[in-house]
């Protein structure tokens, strides 16, 4: 939506397409806040420290240029969001309040209680409505087309879910803002639409994917009862002083990261919890405890209202009195479509990607709160670049009728089969395979097995069946999603097999150490001319020496050591 607003304001014709209803995208789930070095609470904070935190926790395979742009522009985007109408919590002097969050050196997350994402999406929705930007919701895009001679984007095809009609879009630029593919995992905080559609669309259009092996497990998901498994418990609980203990009552984070404890980076906390559970020190439901009761009922209800109601309504647990049970859940995809750091353009001319669908900013691990500022910073940049491309080049790319007919035939195939597989069942099987073989700790033979299983599902999915009429046919929409998911899974597994080390979110039990001498690289996935998935490794872009100096942590750590805990 930020990209659409930018395009509109720059005077180009723009059309916004949403897979769900307008304003219901996965962003509503973001709770903790939006990271920007406004330095309202900790005056020492600035873009350099934010840059440094982002790169260090991303285990240095981030694109440094993206991280620089991001850290510099995030404060402006937050203030802009406030001017659009978002209501952030305040400091006593009336500035935007900032809270501490995992692996951010300073208090940096601007927040709206624990519903920051909802506030962000509603505010942008209001801006879209105010400008009367044309949009259509509940449309699934199935394919993006290129001009045969120029190789640039010339249009897209989709289905209007409500009526089952097929719609053709003639356009010379497409900005993907489709989010990640968390739904390929069984235990995930992600929503229905997170089936990695944008990644598959870009791949099929010939764009390069990068860092696909980097899947973030959020350390704290709900685990019990089964109906809520995977539902997110915001990091803000730890930000507000929540303590993790194992079944024996030990504050185990003291063993894994004595300095930062619960507020360590997400990959560290997730792996620590996983290790505790695997070592038999978990609860009977296979979880650990998260306890925030010491904060008192009033404080919790004010600062973490959604969490309070989430546990009360979904699990019958009063978090002001009882401990929560939590375990890791799939949360975010750091990898995605490879983009230019300044313009968000992919390797296909006219195709842009911003947010979770893009890769490069977060490296091997994303910091909490960086995703919301990511979508604003790069949403705007993608909007600028797409508008300028249209205005300056005025491209007139040809939408090939042959390609259109081929795509229409492809997407209607689920109606032609009479004895095919059930897409909902295939989705469940994909999720189970990924959870068991490509999970939080990986090893070669599991990954190979996972690849084989996904290969089998891919074969079955060719014959997937949609039942009933075309209007609001979910089995049809999910059939298209299954095709995208198998593609995403294959790229994740191939990349995970290729990276023979442990780095950030990617942990290999057979290669437990990080190896900078060999693996300061990004793994690129691409479709070859003959339609095969190919991969290559490219070195991480080298940053200038003065930027490297910013990664020296001693100064920050010394300051942190002097800060008394609240």
Partner 1 sequence: MEKHAGVGEKKQVTLRVFRGLGTDRSKDRYEVFTVPRQDGMVVLNAIHYIQSHFDSSLSARWNCKAGRCGSCSAEINGWPRLMCKTPVDEYEGEEITVEPMKAFPLLRDLVTDVSANYEIAKAMPPFTPKEAPDHVWSMQQIDVDKGREFRKCIECFLCQDICHVVREHKANYIGPRWVVKAASFDMHPMDALNRSDFMKESAGLGYCNITKCCQEVCPEHIIITDDAIIPEKERIVDTHYDPLVWIYEQIKGTSKGKKKSKKE
Active site residues: 218, 238
Q: In what order do the strands lie in the sheet with 165-170?
A: 139-146, 153-160, 165-170
We find the least distance from the C-beta atom of residue 122 to partner 1, in angstroms, to be: 7
Cβ proximity to partner 1: between 189 and 507 the closer is: 189
Burial class of 417 by CB neighbour count within 10 A (0 to 12, 13 to 18, 19+): middle
Please say which residue, 425 or 555, places its beta carbon nearer to partner 1.
425
Indicate the residue among 21 and 561 with the shorter CB distance to partner 1.
21
Residues forming beta bridges with residue 43, ordered by sequence position: none
Q: Are 375 and 179 in contact (CB under 8 A)?
A: no
Residues comprising the chain, all counted: 566
Question: Which residue number, 232 or 454, has a Cβ lying nearer to partner 1?
Answer: 232
CB of 285 to partner 1, least distance (A): 10
Q: How far is the CB of 114 from partner 1 (least distance, A)?
A: 11
Nearer to partner 1 (CB atom), residue 246 or residue 329: 329
- Give every CB contact of residue 298 below 8 A, 6+ residues apart in sequence: none
Q: Shortest approach of partner 1 to residue 92 CB, angstroms?
A: 8
Taken in order 135, 139, 142, 148, is the CA torsion positive or negative? negative
What is the closest distance, in whole angstroms, from the C-beta atom of residue 298 to partner 1 in the complex?
Answer: 14
Q: Which residues contact 65 (CB under 8 A, 6 or more apart)?
A: 341, 342, 541, 543
Q: How far is the CB of 336 from partner 1 (least distance, A)?
A: 21
| Nearer Cβ to partner 1 (37/465) | 465
Q: Which CB sits closer to partner 1, 94 or 531? A: 94
* Secondary structure (H, E, C), 426-453: HHHHHHHHHHHHCCCCECHHHHHHHHHH
Tokens linked to 306: 């959604």
Residue 303 near residue 339, CB atoms below 8 Å = no
One DSSP character per residue, 128-189 reads HHHHT--EE-SEEEEEEEE-TTT-SEEEEEEEETTTTEEEEEE-S-EEE-----GGGSSSBS
Rounded to a whole number of angstroms, the minimum distance from the CB of residue 17 to partner 1 is: 15
364 Cβ contact list (under 8 Å, min separation 6): 58, 59, 61, 211, 214, 267, 334, 503, 504, 505, 506
Angle between helices 370-393 and 2-9 (to 10 degrees): 30
Binding site for partner 1 (CB under 8 A): 20-24, 26, 28-29, 79-80, 82-85, 87-90, 92-95, 97, 112-113, 115, 118-119, 122, 126, 129-130, 132, 162, 189, 191-193, 224-229, 231-232, 306, 309-310, 313-315, 422-425, 427-428, 465-469, 471-475
DSSP 398-418: ---HHHHHHHHHHHHHHHH-S
């Amino acid at each position: 939506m930020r990209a659409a607003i930018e395009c509109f304001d720059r005077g180009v014709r723009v059309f916004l397409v949403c897979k769900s209803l307008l304003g219901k995208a996965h962003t509503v789930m973001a709770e903790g806040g939006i990271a920007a070095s406004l330095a309202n609470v900790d005056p020492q904070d600035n873009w350099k420290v934010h840059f440094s935190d982002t790169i260090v926790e991303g285990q240095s395979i981030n694109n440094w240029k993206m991280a620089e742009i991001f850290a510099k522009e995030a404060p402006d985007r937050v203030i802009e969001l406030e001017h659009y109408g978002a209501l952030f919590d305040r400091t006593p002097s009336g500035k935007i309040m900032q809270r501490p969050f995992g692996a951010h050196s300073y208090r940096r997350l601007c927040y709206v209680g624990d519903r920051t994402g909802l506030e962000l999406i509603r505010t942008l929705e209001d801006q879209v409505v105010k400008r009367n930007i044309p949009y259509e919701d509940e449309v699934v895009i199935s394919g993006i087309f290129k001009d045969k001679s120029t190789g640039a984007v010339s249009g897209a095809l989709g289905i209007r879910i409500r009526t089952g009609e097929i719609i053709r879009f003639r356009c010379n630029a497409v900005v993907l803002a489709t989010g990640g593919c968390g739904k390929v995992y069984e235990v995930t905080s992600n929503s229905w639409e997170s089936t990695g559609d944008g990644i598959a669309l870009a791949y099929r259009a010939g764009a390069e994917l990068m860092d696909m092996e980097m899947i973030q497990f959020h350390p704290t998901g709900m685990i019990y009862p089964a109906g809520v498994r995977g539902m997110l418990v915001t990091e803000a609980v730890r930000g507000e002083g929540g303590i993790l203990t194992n079944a024996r009552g030990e504050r185990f984070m003291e063993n894994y990261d004595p300095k930062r404890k619960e507020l360590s980076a997400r990959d560290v906390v997730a792996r620590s919890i996983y290790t505790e559970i695997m070592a038999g020190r978990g609860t009977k439901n296979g979880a650990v405890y998260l306890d925030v009761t010491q904060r008192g009922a009033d404080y919790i209800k004010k600062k973490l209202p959604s969490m309070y109601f989430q546990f009360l309504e979904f699990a019958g647990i009063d978090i002001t009195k009882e401990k929560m049970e939590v375990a890791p859940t799939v949360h975010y995809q750091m990898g995605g479509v490879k983009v230019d750091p300044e313009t968000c353009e992919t390797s296909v001319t006219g195709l842009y990607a911003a947010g979770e669908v893009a890769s490069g900013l977060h490296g091997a691990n994303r910091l909490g709160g960086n995703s919301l500022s990511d979508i604003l910073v790069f949403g705007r940049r993608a909007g600028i670049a797409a508008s300028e491309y249209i205005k300056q080049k005025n491209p007139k790319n040809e939408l090939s009728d042959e390609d259109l007919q081929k795509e229409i035939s492809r997407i209607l195939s689920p109606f032609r089969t009479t004895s095919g597989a059930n897409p909902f069942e295939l989705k469940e099987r994909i999720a189970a395979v990924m959870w068991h073989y490509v999970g939080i700790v990986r090893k070669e033979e599991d990954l190979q097995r996972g690849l084989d299983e996904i290969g089998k599902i891919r074969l079955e999915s060719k014959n997937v069946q949609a039942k009933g009429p075309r209007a609001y046919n979910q089995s049809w929409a999910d059939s298209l999603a299954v095709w995208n998911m198998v593609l995403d899974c294959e790229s994740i597994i191939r990349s995970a097999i290729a990276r023979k080390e442990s780095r950030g979110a990617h942990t290999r039990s057979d290669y437990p150490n990080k190896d900078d001498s060999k693996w300061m690289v990004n793994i690129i996935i691409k479709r070859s001319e003959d339609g095969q998935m190919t991969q290559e490794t490219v070195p991480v872009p080298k940053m200038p020496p003065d930027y490297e100096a910013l990664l020296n942590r001693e100064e920050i750590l010394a300051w942190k050591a002097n800060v008394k805990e609240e």
